[in-house]
Structure 1
Amino acid sequence: MRVHHRNRSLVKWIRQVLTNIGSLKTKLLLSFCMLFALSLIVGRAGSFMGWHRHSTELKFPSSRGGYTVLINTWRRNSVLKQSVAHYASCSSVDAIRVVWSENNPPSESLKAYLRKSVRSKAKSNHKPDFRFDLNEQDNLNNRFKPIEGLRTDAIFSIDDDVVVPCSTLEFAFSVWQSAPYSMVGFVPRMHWVDTKSADAIRYKYGGWWSVWWMGTYSMVLSKAAFFHQKYLEMYTYHMPASIQEYVSRERNCEDIAMSFLVANATGAPPVWVKGKLFEIGSSGISSLKGHSQRRNECLNDFVSLYGYMPLVASNFNAVNVQYEWFW
């Protein structure tokens, strides 16, 4: 009798469900429509705000061959000449673009010299396309402006006083091709939690020695790094304007800003390529007194502007075993 009573209860419940199935369908349909409309509103709101956390829209292609060398320079023409001549000799270089932010445009003699150097140093029938990208104002954000006429998806961002051997550069390019959404570079840095801070979580900027000692990094600096050319557009048009204003005002940390942007977009760490590079010029702003403290401030100020810490730590590094006897 007890089992029979349970069966009757089950039949009654099934009948009730069947009776209300029409209204249930209506409710489900309405709920779906509301969720769809809400997703559209949120998506458009993100577009209006110009920013996405861990964007899922990273579907840009990475099929176009070769790479563009993007050289940032400042009043060091002799160093620039050496840099341009070197990168013109690397086989996969499709173009060399020089970011020029000085008050006066480059002289005709300098342009003629560099064009001739590119033609003479190229080791194949394909001659890299060489151009200056002129800017009216001296601003560190200039190095990440979108570039018209690019034929490659890969950008190799480099300071004018840094030389990476062609073989090492070609290896790094192959690493980038396997991870085209990532930053792939030679100069790793790390954000460390400041354990001495008694208040909210604060971070310290970890230079090369801390990375070497701990083997952990969360940034590769844009002074020598590959990234997809679409990040130039994202930096200029989609990153919060407050970040660009900060970089312009402080005249520092544009490389940290790019690392934040890529980490925010991907939710993933960069890739550190182990390889030799050479500095051919005088010391830059990294040698100035108080540089580390300013980088600490950049880290924490960017976290405040973002509302969270997007950088992701990694222990992975890419090594070309052809030139490494111990790995």
Structure 2
Amino acid sequence: MEPARPKPAQAPVEQAPEPAPAPPAPPAPTVVEVPVEQPAPRVSWLGRVRAGLSKTRAGLADGLGALFLGGKRLDDALLEELETRLLMADVGLDATRRILDGLTERLGRKEPVTPEAVMAALADDMTALLAPSAQPLDVTTATKPFVILVVGINGAGKTTTIGKLAHRFKSTGHSVMLAAGDTFRAAAVEQLQTWGARNDVPVVAQHTGADSASVIYDAVAAGQARGVDVVIADTAGRLHTQSNLMQELAKIKRVLAKLDPDAPHEVLLVVDGGTGQNALNQAQQFHQAVGVTGVAITKLDGTAKGGMLFAIAEKLGLPIRFIGIGEGIEDLQPFAAGDFVDALLGRNGSDGQD
């Protein structure tokens, strides 16, 4: 009998490690509601005009209704107060007298009047004075190009106005070319070229000090060759008292007549609304020198002298083509007499949106 064999040693059984405890669940994220910033509502053009004329309105119309509370008559003292307000807003003496004469004719001086009646009568008389000058610029392209010669004193905003006009004409489907006729002011050509690039329109320019008439002649000739709809020509700013420079504008007109007897089709005077009655003197001198056919009034925002439009309309009867409120490319719009008067007097006081 064989001896019992020893049993083979059994390998120790490894115990499975205990599973690691599950990590604690992360805390629920805190939900923070971030308010979505809404874009500011777009203010309408009338709303911008109303805001821009706030300083003029403060001197002219704010508190005007309080003068007539209690059923007062339109007596000498109240008429003198109205006259003072109109003159302080640079409405001008002749225009002021015309407005006050219309007011007394409408309301009389014997019966008490209400503030509402006074404001309505003022608005009617002021609108009637301005309405004949509210003539939009009609760009006809029967004979191309339609040439606009832009004139004015230094600092009135001619070059900026040209850039805004180029944008306006392009947005209505017209092809546009610019002429850098201000060959004297430092960086004037570069400024116009910047506007040209911004509006994607060509700019005809020469070196600093070149003959302005030659530059503008070349631009109009190029516009004729390319079938361009509108050529807008910049000119050097000059004081209305500088007769030699005013004669240069007359030379430009003579030179352009060789290409088109009717050119320029518009001589647009740009005046700074903040210059008040001095703008009237400028308009008279430029009109005598080159025959201004339209006026653009810039920088009306922030001035207390917005009434100067009435003086230009009363004394010269020139078409007021555009008014400018603000620096934006669309802040130059055709002049509308009723809207301007409503904004000036604070009537229909809604800053509506486009």
Given the two structures, how large is their TM-score scaled by the length of structure 2?
A: 0.25
Higher relative contact order (CA 8 A, sep 6+): 2
> Over alpha carbons, which structure has the higher Rg?
2
TM-score for the superposition, normalised by structure 1: 0.27
